Structure 1
Amino acid sequence: MSKEHWMRDLPSELRDLSIINLAIPGSHNSMTYGINSKSKLSPDAETAIRRWHRFFPCFVRRWSKNQNSGILEQLHLGVRYFDLRIAQKEDKFYYCHGLFAMEVFEPLLEIRQFVETHPEELLILDLQHFYALTVAHHQQLHKELIQFFGHRLYSTADGSLKDCTLNRCAEMQRNLVIIYRRCPIPLPLRFWPSYSWPTPWPNKASVKKLQSFLEDSLLSRQPQQGYVSQCLITPTGRYIALRLFFTLKSTAKRVDKKLQPWIQEQIPGPFEPKEDPRVNVFLADFVNLKDGQFCNWVVELNTKLQGQATDNLEKDNP
């Protein structure tokens, strides 16, 4: 079932909640579907990857691609949070993950068309890592992104993230949030800094350790912040060596299967400083597995909020 309009279709009381209090599906290394047989090594490639690529480029591609569905398919599956890694080459910006993918603005054109034709959906672009960018490159990228998305950007001048609700953003015609991390120069008002939306990296090679990390790190979340739970494992050299004929996709299938119960028991929504923190964004590899089951699990969590809203209403009106 398509999730093309899932935000629009939320009950009005949920559209009045901040986006940091909703459960939102995200894709890890969102643009790596653009990696192909012509892709060259990118600046983030580690020494071992460079060595492997010399003799087994196909093998490196298999472990560099975290998604194989294009941006429109991801959007229709319900993904609203995109994890982006950007490198510079010959005065152009490209997506990367060990290998170069496509030029930065190619898929952003599809994203711009989507936010213009879906004014009641809201997207979050998380510019997570940068490679081989100088201060001048960052200045150039800031300018190009602001010109490209224009009035659609919900900026720090429009209010806090707590004020960023779907209904309010639709009225303001703002339905795109850009998080710009690890920037060496002051950020323009149009972008949100790292601390506004923490995304702790698990760096675990087992699902059991991953789940423990997700549970423990969530406890550090603050009520005024967004938050990303990265539901993915990070393969070590040993992990890959023992699974030479595997791919990241087969790894993602295993993570989905084992982590499903934990994801489905989570609760989104607002919380007070002394209360247990609640979930927000969930990040995964290969979000199109089994017709987007991961996205379905996450979006469904919002129905728990609807029940809470009804309970609160009954308490207020006995």
Structure 2
Amino acid sequence: MGADLDFYYFYAFVEIQMSANGKGKRGVTRYSDWMMQLPPELHNIPLFNLAIPGSHDSMSYDLDSSSSIIEPDSLKKFSRLCCVRKTLLKWAATQEDTITKQLDAGVRYFDLRIARKPHDTNPTRLYFYHGLYTRTDVESVLKMINDWAERHPREIIILALSHFKGFDQKTELHNHLISFIKTLFGTKVVLRGVTPTLRSCWDQGTNVIVSYDYPAIHDSYMWSKISYFYGDSMKIARVESVLSEHHYFARDPTGFFVCGLNLTLPDDARICLYVLRLCDSFANVVRRSLPRLLLWVKQQGSRKPNIVASDLAGREDFVSAVIQYNYYLLLSASIPL
């Protein structure tokens, strides 16, 4: 099958071939355990070459409307106005499902942006953020993820920690967070510098990969920044154009690579064109745009999208479209299911 084969045909072909082999939709019966249900032919290929569903701004379902505004800069001065915070909440919440529900739905990559509140009485307490701080602190959420990882030892979870707003180059905060992560996940962590496969992770009893986007940190437990490409626009055509360009020219076959289907609000006064739509919300915009963006994923042929991150990532149509891509790759290589 050529890379330019129309998605209607190759996805139909996948479904027909799976049905002919007695699989049908039984290829993956539970999205909470989809990795362990993949065909044996996929167990020994690098995780860099698997199609993996991910979520963008994964903790934004938990944003606190009483929080001060920490971005964008153009709205910070309105932090004391409740109506502005609530409006920002409608447009900053890119996810609706809890972290556990996202995991159960099949999401395996998490975009986790970390911040410290400037006047917190606890010097090491951290939160996630996206425009506003979250209500739940970082350590509590990581414990939830660890509990889930223990119940699903054959599902590989990728945590991308980044931004670290309010750390102000305080090495002690980074050291505290890394020490907590190493103690919490322990031997479940996939060490940096290896080429992980499903089989190698299962054999070694590891199922958590931690990417830590802070160049000054050099630790065998912490992977470096994972490349994340996105359109930086609310216009679907622009998102598709940028992602297509990076698929051709920027993909590193020896590492993880994220295609972000997410839409992005302007960080200047143009943001008002969206947030002043009183009867609309970011979630509604995503619901209208995601079907077309999923077409882009399905049209990529042999270009191997690896991690595909989205807003509203818990939606079954998103998760199933990404997971299904793994079966297409098998069929395109003439490997029997």
When normalised by structure 1's length, the TM-score is 0.87
In the TM superposition, what are the counterparts of 1:1-318 in structure 2 within 5 Å? 2-38=30-66, 40-41=67-68, 44-55=70-81, 56=83, 57-89=85-117, 90=120, 91=123, 92-101=125-134, 102-133=136-167, 134-156=170-192, 159-160=193-194, 163-181=195-213, 183-194=214-225, 197-219=226-248, 220-236=250-266, 237-241=271-275, 243-267=277-301, 277-289=303-315, 292-309=316-333, 311=334
The answer (yes or no) to whether the contact 1:25–1:282 under 8 Å persists in 2 is: yes
Give distance in 2, aligned partners of 1:35 and 1:8.
33
1:49 to partner: Cα distance: 2.5
The answer (yes or no) to whether the contact 1:152–1:175 under 8 Å persists in 2 is: yes
The answer (yes or no) to whether the contact 1:49–1:98 under 8 Å persists in 2 is: no
CA RMSD of aligned residues (A): 2.0
Shifted more, 235-244 versus 277-286: the winner is 235-244
Could you tell me which amino acid in structure 1 is paired with residue 129 of structure 2? C
1:260 to partner: Cα distance: 2.1
* Gap runs ≥5 in structure 2: 1-28
SS in 1 for 2:175: helix
The answer (yes or no) to whether the contact 1:35–1:100 under 8 Å persists in 2 is: yes
1:252 to partner: Cα distance: 1.0
Could you tell me which amino acid in structure 2 is paired with residue 255 of structure 1? S
When normalised by structure 2's length, the TM-score is 0.82
1:139 to partner: Cα distance: 1.4
1:180 to partner: Cα distance: 0.6
Write out per-residue CA displacement over residues 50-93 of structure 1, whole angstroms, 9 at most, x where no aligned residue: 24443322101111211111111101110000000000132211
Give distance in 2, aligned partners of 1:7 and 1:241.
38
1:238 to partner: Cα distance: 4.5
The answer (yes or no) to whether the contact 2:88–2:275 under 8 Å persists in 1 is: no
Structure 1 pair 145/267, CA: closer, same or farther in 2 (3 Å)?
farther
The answer (yes or no) to whether the contact 1:126–1:180 under 8 Å persists in 2 is: yes
Aligned length: 294
Could you tell me which amino acid in structure 2 is paired with residue 23 of structure 1? A
Structure 1 pair 304/147, CA: closer, same or farther in 2 (3 Å)?
same
Give distance in 2, aligned partners of 1:308 and 1:211.
23
Structure 1 pair 47/223, CA: closer, same or farther in 2 (3 Å)?
closer
Give distance in 2, aligned partners of 1:36 and 1:238.
21
* Gap runs ≥5 in structure 1: 269-276, 314-318
